[in-house]
Amino acid sequence: EPEVTQTPSHQVTQMGQEVILRCVPISNHLYFYWYRQILGQKVEFLVSFYNNEISEKSEIFDDQFSVERPDGSNFTLKIRSTKLEDSAMYFCASIRGQTETQYFGPGTRLLVL
Amino acid sequence: AQSVAQPEDQVNVAEGNPLTVKCTYSVSGNPYLFWYVQYPNRGLQFLLKYITGDNLVKGSYGFEAEFNKSQTSFHLKKPSALVSDSALYFCAVTLGGGGNKLTFGTGTQLKVEL
């Protein structure tokens, strides 16, 4: 069964450093998402992406964040200059169409020191 | 704006007993409703969804949920709980169209004991 994959599973970085989180959505899916979950809190929407552009972004998704689909398979989230409060689990999700189920990857746990 | 409330942080139930995890929602339109489960240090696994049609939806692992429009609720149920059902359960809502973002509740920790 096809699934969303994410790399790395864990990343530790120093405050102020850039990080790139990678996702490979399910191959025939058209809509892509990033969410994050700060430890012990609920899952929060960051950004959605369709047809090579951002569809919607939350207040969390400020100028430090960017997304890209550099080729036909990868979907990346870049944090330009990490802050301590960026420490969280980051989930990628994808769907085929607007009424479909969002399928989530296993997440990348980011720790900013 | 859309929102989800899960009023219980934790639900404890004995194995073999029925379980209910509560969820209420608020959206300005027809909701699409979802339940996801999260095991420790794992991602979110889809359990079931309501888009339209029959108010009682059945999902994975024997779970079901009932959509109640008048009460704006979508409670998760299972007739007979298993210890292996112990996990964190999230209710989520979206409106169809656009970016289709999911808005999640705060989660309910289900603990099933022998």
Per-residue pLDDT of B59-104, as tens digits, reads 999 999 999 999 999 999 999 999 999 999 999 998 866 557 899 9
Instruction: Give the distance from residue B99's alpha carbon to the nearest chain A alpha carbon, in angstroms.
Output: 5
Q: Domain spanning B3-113 has what CATH number?
A: 2.60.40.10
Nearest chain A residue (CA) to B43:
A106
Q: Which residues of chain A does B51 touch, with a Cβ-Cβ cutoff of 8 Å?
A: 99
The pLDDT of residue B56: 96
Residue A59: give the domain boundaries: 5-112
**Local confidence band at B35 (pLDDT 50, 70, 90 cut-offs):** very high
Residue B2, pLDDT score: 87
Give the torsion through C-alpha atoms of B79, B76, B62, B89, to 10 deg.
-120
The length of chain B in residues reads 114
Q: Which residues of B touch A105 (CB under 8 A)?
A: 43
Q: Look at residue B6 and give its three-state secondary structure.
A: coil
Assess whether pLDDT exceeds 80 at residue A2.
no
Pair of tokens at residue A87: 């420490």
Mean pLDDT over residues A76-82, rounded?
97
Contact B106 A42 (CB under 8 A): yes
Nearest Cα residue in chain B from A54: B99
Nearest residue of B to residue A56, measured between CA atoms: B99
CB of B61 within 8 Å of any CB in chain A?
Answer: no
Q: Quote the Cα angle for B44-A73-B94, to 5°.
A: 40
Looking at beta carbons, which residues of chain A come within 8 Å of B46? Answer: 101-104
Whether residue A77 is predicted with pLDDT greater than 90 in this model: the reply is yes
Count the domains in chain A: 1
Token pair recorded at residue A108: 């990348």
Q: Is the pLDDT of residue B53 over 90?
A: no
Instruction: Please report which confidence band the pLDDT of residue B43 belongs to, taking 50, 70 and 90 as the band edges.
Output: confident
Mean pLDDT calculated for residue range A8-32: 95
The CATH number covering residue A83 comes to: 2.60.40.10
Closest CA to A106 of A86, A95, A85, A90: A90
CA distance A98 to chain B (A): 6
Burial class (CB in 10 A: 0-12, 13-18, 19+), A66: middle
Judged by a CB distance cut-off of 8 A, whether residue B104 touches chain A is: yes
> What does chain B look like in DSSP terms, one character per residue?
--EEE---SEEEEETTS-EEE--EEE-SS-EEEEEEEE-TT--EEEEEEE-SS-SEEE-GGG-EEEEETTTTEEEEEESS--GGG-EEEEEEEEESSTT---EE---EEEEEE-
Return the SS3 of A62: coil
Beta partners for residue B30, in sequence order: none
> Cα–Cα distance between A93 and B12 in angstroms, integer?
30
